[in-house]
Amino acid sequence: MTIQEQIRQKAQEYRDYTAVNLSKMIKAKSYSGKEEEVCRVISSLCGEAGFDEVYFDGLGSVIGRVGNGPKKIAFDAHIDTVEVGDPGQWNFDPFAGEIREGRVWGRGAADQKGGAASMITAGRILKELGYDGIFTVYFTFTVMEEDCDGMCWKYLIEEEKLVPDYVVSTEPTSLRLHRGHRGRMEIEVRLKGISSHGSAPERGVSAAYKAARAALAIEKLNDDLKPDSDNFLGKGTVVVSQIQVQGPSQCAVPDQAMLYLDRRLTWGEDADLAMSQVKKYVAEAVGDSEDEISVVMPFYAKTGWKNKEYGQELYFPTWKFPESHKLVQGGVAGYKALFQKDPVIDKWTFSTNCVATSGRHNIPAIGFGPGDEHEAHAPNESNRIDDLEICAAFYAMLPYSLQNSMQQ
Q: Write the CA distances from 33 to 134, 304, 352, integer angstroms.
A: 35, 4, 17
User: Which residues in 247-344 belong to E strands, given as ranges?
Assistant: 256-265, 294-296, 299-303, 309-313, 315-316, 319-320
How far apart (Å, rounded) are the C-alpha atoms in residues 44 and 271? 41
* Catalytic residue (one of 35, 57, 76, 80): 80
- Architecture label for domain 183-300: 2-Layer Sandwich (3.30)
pLDDT at 406: 81
Rounded to a whole number, what is the distance in angstroms from the first to the last CA of the chain?
A: 23
CATH number of 3-181+318-407: 3.40.630.10
Helix, strand, coil percent values for the chain (each to nearest 5): 40, 25, 35
Q: Where are the domains of the chain?
A: 3-181+318-407, 183-300
Q: What type of residue is 55? A: Y
What's this model's pTM, rounded to 2 decimal places?
Answer: 0.95
Q: Write the CA distances from 201 to 190, 197, 210, 214, 236, integer angstroms.
A: 21, 6, 14, 20, 38
Catalytic: 80?
yes
How far apart (Å, rounded) are the C-alpha atoms in residues 309 and 261? 25
pLDDT at 407: 77
Catalytic: 145?
yes
How far apart (Å, rounded) are the C-alpha atoms in residues 22 and 78? 13
Q: Decide the pairing of beta strands 315-316 and 319-320.
A: unpaired
Residues 6+ apart with CB under 8 A from 191: 207, 210, 211, 214, 256, 257, 258, 259, 282, 286, 288, 293, 294
* Catalytic residue (one of 145, 228, 269, 387): 145
Give pLDDT tens digits along the chain (408 positions).
999 999 999 999 999 999 999 999 999 999 999 999 999 999 999 999 999 999 999 999 999 999 999 999 999 999 999 999 999 999 999 999 999 999 999 999 999 999 999 999 999 999 999 999 999 999 999 999 999 999 999 999 999 999 999 999 999 999 999 999 999 999 999 999 999 999 999 999 999 999 999 999 999 999 999 999 999 999 999 999 999 999 999 999 999 999 999 999 999 999 999 999 999 999 999 999 999 999 999 999 999 999 999 999 999 999 999 999 999 999 999 999 999 999 999 999 999 999 999 999 999 999 999 999 999 999 999 999 999 999 999 999 999 999 988 877
pLDDT at 5: 98
Closest CA to 334 of 325, 346, 343: 343
Closest CA to 167 of 115, 111, 99: 115
Sign of the dihedral defined by the CA atoms of residues 41, 43, 44, 50, in that order: positive
Residues 6+ apart with CB under 8 A from 103: 109, 382, 383, 384, 385
How far apart (Å, rounded) are the C-alpha atoms in residues 309 and 287? 41
Question: How long, in residues, is the chain?
Answer: 408
Say if CB 383 and CB 345 are below 8 A apart.
Answer: no
pLDDT at 405: 81
Which contacts of 269-272 are long-range, i.e. CB under 8 A and separated by 24 or more positions? Answer: 269/183, 269/236, 269/318, 270/317, 270/318, 271/185, 271/297, 271/315
Q: Write the CA distances from 255 to 206, 216, 246, integer angstroms.
A: 6, 19, 7
Give the Cα-Cα-Cα angle 28, 30, 33 (nearest 5 degrees). 145
Give the other-Cβ count within 10 Å of 81's Cβ: 28
